[in-house]
Each structure stands twice: as structure tokens, then as C-alpha cells.
Amino acid sequence: MNSLTVNLHLMMASFYRPSGRRTRIVIEDAAFPSDSYAVASQAVHHGLDPARTVVRLAPRDGEEHLRTEDVLAFLEREGDTVALVMLGGVNYLTGQLMDMPAITKAGRAAGAVVGWDLAHAAGNVPLRLHDWDVDFAAWCTYKYLNAGPGAVAGCFVHERHVRDASVPKLSGWWGTEPSVRFRMDPDIAPPASADAWQLSNPPILALAPVLASLEIFDRVGMDALRAKSERLTGYLASRLGSAPGARPITPADPAARGTQLSLRVADAGGLVRRLAEAHGVVADARDPTSSGSRPSRCTARSTTATAPPRPSPTSPSG
């Protein structure tokens, strides 16, 4: 249904319910920009100041990745102020695979709702959202699910919420029971599933590549794909080990990363051009050095320390 950021907003409309001290939204400092925009606008929608409401957990000084123990310690220490934890399952920049079961458990134990942006995790790593007790998740299909830019996205809502009639939601025609949809009644009859969060009928032609891709995933299985991805990234990492001027910022442990290797290089733009012209390799360069005001940026060890800007990483990834 919809697109990724639309689905995140629909999920937050239902599950981000700030009250009293419990108002904060926790994301990672290196979150994809759309997530940053979405949570900040949700804070404003509720009459809150994003600079005080949005907490951006950053790695320790000199490190590239969030440590799970630091995230858990933050939630144990300050969880009574957190309304929503919404991290990326696999970080788009570094490729770090977060410990979703442990963080979900800690967030829920702290009394917060836990949702995941799985844009870079769906079709990339095995997911057990129901078993992990995740409240909600949203993802796109145009990356690892092969459906192309603008393809229909998806969401997950835990069954305990779909059975709870008190959970507020923004509704549309496609969110009513198919069996009564064409009665055209003014009162909605939502199904007891995540389908209740749908709004409008999906674009049929755009669903065709999604269907074709998911049929392949069903035949092959995520476990087999995950094993292959670990072999491929492991082989590439071994080949890159001696490359001058290129330093991986993706975790070295295959179990701690998705199907991605990101590199910090001195001239990413030039490297991308050379790879394309000489070898036909399509790469992606990012320069996250732009400055500006940011909501509460803190390490997972402190809610007050503002870390200095990190050096410019540029990361061809795939």
C-alpha cells in the first residue's frame, strides 16, 4: 500500500501518542532523510518542538556504528520519556544490521512503541516481526524487492493492535472489508489485519513487478538468499582489503550487516565515474556533510552531549 513515507506517517498517526513526559521519538543519527523529515513533522503536528522531541542516537566518538548495548542502556535509562522508537533495520549509509529483537524488547519494556523502517531490510535479511513483538514496520519494494522506483510499499502491524478497536487510524475506502466494500456504506468495517490501514486502491500496473519479484522470493526463500549475500559481501570485502584509499564503514562481521558494503574514499565522485566508464559498474556516492540545525543529536551514552560533525563519508554501495 502507498509509499514508504506515507506508510510511516499512517503508522505514526496510530502509534505515536505523546503524553506527559513520554513524548520523544528515537531514531538513528544517520537515518535516511525522509525518516528525519517525517518524525520532525509528526512532532510539529502534535504541537511539540522537534529539537526537544527527536533524539538522534549517534555512534561513539571515532566509531561508525551504533552499539546495541548503548541503545539498550539509553532505553533503560531514559525510556520513560520515549513514546516511539523508530530505527532503520539496516542503515542505508553504513549497511549496519540492527539487533531488532533486542532493541524491540528493550523499547517495549521501557513502555515505548517500537516501529522499524525496513526500506533496506525487506528482501535483504530474514525478518520475524511477529515473533520479535514489533509493534509496526514499513518498507518499500523498489530496492531489494526489485520492483523499481515508485513501486507500492508495505507495512506490518502486530495482531494485538489490529484486534484493538481503540487504536486510532486514518481510514480510506480500501481499509474496509472487501466483502462489504461495494455496499458504499458511510461507516467503515475494518478487517482485523494490517489491511485496515490501507487508504486507496493500489495502482494495478505497478503491482505487477512486485508480484513477479515476490514469487521468486517464495521459491528461493530468504534463508538461501541471506547465505548467498554473506558469501558475496565476504568475497568483495576480501578483495577490497588491499584497495588503497578505500576504508569500509560497513561492519566487518557478515552477521552484523545487510547485503551492502559502504566505503569511505577521498574522491567518491571521481571513483563513481571511473567505475562506470571503465567497467560499467553502477555505484552510489553520498556526501552527508551538509550542515544545518538538527534535532537532539546525542550519543547513546548521553542525552546531552552534542558530538562534533563526523568526517565526510562518501559511500558507493549496492
The alpha carbons of the chain give a radius of gyration, in whole angstroms, of 20
Top pLDDT among 293 and 50 is at 50
Q: Are 15 and 114 in contact (CB under 8 A)?
A: no
* Residue 285, all three cell numbers: 556516492
Domains of the chain by start residue, with CATH: 1-140+153-201+221-318 (3.40.640.10)
pLDDT at 166 over 60: yes
The confidence score (pLDDT) of residue 280 equals: 95
- How many residues comprise the chain? 318
Top pLDDT among 247 and 39 is at 39
pLDDT at 290 over 60: no
pLDDT at 70 over 80: yes
* Residue 137, all three cell numbers: 514496520
Question: What are the tens digits of pLDDT across the range 88-139?
Answer: 999 999 999 999 999 999 999 999 999 999 999 999 999 999 999 999 999 9
Q: Which amino acid is at 143?
A: K
pTM as predicted? 0.88
pLDDT at 71 over 70: yes
* Residue 207, all three cell numbers: 503491482
SS (H, E, C) 246-261: EEECCCCCHHHECCCC
pLDDT at 309 over 80: no
Number of helices followed by number of strands (H, E) in the chain: 9, 9
The confidence score (pLDDT) of residue 242 equals: 72
Question: What are the tens digits of pLDDT across the range 195-241?
Answer: 999 999 988 988 998 999 999 999 999 999 999 999 999 999 998 87
Sheet with 296-299, strands from edge to edge, namely 154-157, 136-139, 113-117, 82-88, 24-28, 54-58, 296-299
The confidence score (pLDDT) of residue 103 equals: 98
Closest CA to 31 of 114, 123, 117: 117
Q: Which amino acid is at 226?
A: R
Confidence of residue 297 (pLDDT cuts 50, 70, 90): low
How does the average pLDDT of the chain come out, rounded?
Answer: 89
Top pLDDT among 306 and 77 is at 77
| DSSP at 93 | T
* Residue 82, all three cell numbers: 520515549
Percent of the chain with pLDDT over 70: 90
Mean pLDDT on 179-191:
92
